[in-house]
């Protein structure tokens, strides 16, 4: 049997793009305290930008900001805000302008997710994910738009591939991310005449992230329902970060209104993470395979 190909680890963006391409630029990133958004922020900063990271947990944000500044030699401002609260986002934007004087790039990355079938998903649970992902994205756009218009800036919205097919236990995030994709397309059309670009990054299975941990099947039977990797490995945060560097770079000046999957073609061979139809006929039978929300 011929062994399948295994894609090498993600390249460092600094080995491909000039290190100073974002010199003098400023990034505003929601959800930047951890995971994929933290990785994207670090990559943008390594190319010369300063950044503001936004989230609900100030202590974690402050620790991350110090870490990012030390790693990149750039400045990173931690600002506490809940993306569901427009006034809090407006205050975070005001602090960014006070410190850095401008906003060039925006990453709308705040998100929430967990596994639950429609039959057991509460109305509040559905609403909460919609509010964080979809309405939070809209609130972030509204708060930053005057400044991205002024700088002829660019948006990246973090979505997913889950809603491209019917994915059991993911109705809340599927609805939210579909809204994010649609919002980005309208933003690209409406704000293009003002010089503003908008695109979506849709990460696939990214190893070592909280999302991967929460959404992967657990237990001794988990491997039977595992993911398939055409390129021989799961994704890395750096893979998504490299895509973000490209989309914000001058090389992508004519790229807007698009959705980019960063998943190594996994979407084309994706099966069910949980046994189907057992998972929907008898949710109790798969409860041990699902990580609790907290």
3-state secondary structure of 121: coil
Give yes or no for a contact between 96 and 153, defined as CB atoms under 8 angstroms apart. no
CA-nearest of 256, 260, 248 to 27 is: 248
Give yes or no for a contact between 75 and 123, defined as CB atoms under 8 angstroms apart. no
Which one of the listed residues 13, 159, 174, 216 is annotated catalytic?
159
* 71/157 Cα distance (integer angstroms): 24
Which one of the listed residues 154, 177, 184, 256 is annotated catalytic?
177
Q: Residue 159, exposed/middle/buried by CB under 10 A (0-12, 13-18, 19+)?
A: buried
Give yes or no for a contact between 16 and 242, defined as CB atoms under 8 angstroms apart. yes
Helix (H) or strand (E) holding 182: helix 171-191
177 is catalytic: yes
* 93/143 Cα distance (integer angstroms): 7
Residues in the chain: 294
159 is catalytic: yes
Active site (catalytic) residues: 159, 177
């Amino acid at each position: 049997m011929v062994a399948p190909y295994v894609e090498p680890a993600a390249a460092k963006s600094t080995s491909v793009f000039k290190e100073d391409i974002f010199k003098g630029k400023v990034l505003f990133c929601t959800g930047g305290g951890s995971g994929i958004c933290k990785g994207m922020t670090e990559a943008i900063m390594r190319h010369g930008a300063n950044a503001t990271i936004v989230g609900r947990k100030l202590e974690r944000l402050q620790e991350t900001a110090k870490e990012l500044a030390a790693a990149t030699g750039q400045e990173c401002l931690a600002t506490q805000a809940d993306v569901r609260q427009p006034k809090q986002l407006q205050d975070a934007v005001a602090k960014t302008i006070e410190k850095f004087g401008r906003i060039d790039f925006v990453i709308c990355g705040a998100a929430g997710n967990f596994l639950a079938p429609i039959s057991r998903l509460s109305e509040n649970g559905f609403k909460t994910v919609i509010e964080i992902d979809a309405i939070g994205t809209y609130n972030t756009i509204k708060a930053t738009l005057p400044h991205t218009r002024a700088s002829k800036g660019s948006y990246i919205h973090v979505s997913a591939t889950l809603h491209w097919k019917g994915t059991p236990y993911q109705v809340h995030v599927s609805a939210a991310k579909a809204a994010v994709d649609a919002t980005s397309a309208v933003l690209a059309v409406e704000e293009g005449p003002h010089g503003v670009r908008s695109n979506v990054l849709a990460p696939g299975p990214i190893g070592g992230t909280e999302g991967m941990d929460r959404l992967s099947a657990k237990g001794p039977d988990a491997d039977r329902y595992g993911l398939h990797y055409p390129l021989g490995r799961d994704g890395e945060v750096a893979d998504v970060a490299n895509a973000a560097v490209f989309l914000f770079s001058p090389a992508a000046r004519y790229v807007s209104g698009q959705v980019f999957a960063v998943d190594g073609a996994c979407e084309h061979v994706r099966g069910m993470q949980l046994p189907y139809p057992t998972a929907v006929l008898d949710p109790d039978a798969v409860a041990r395979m699902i990580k609790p929300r907290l």
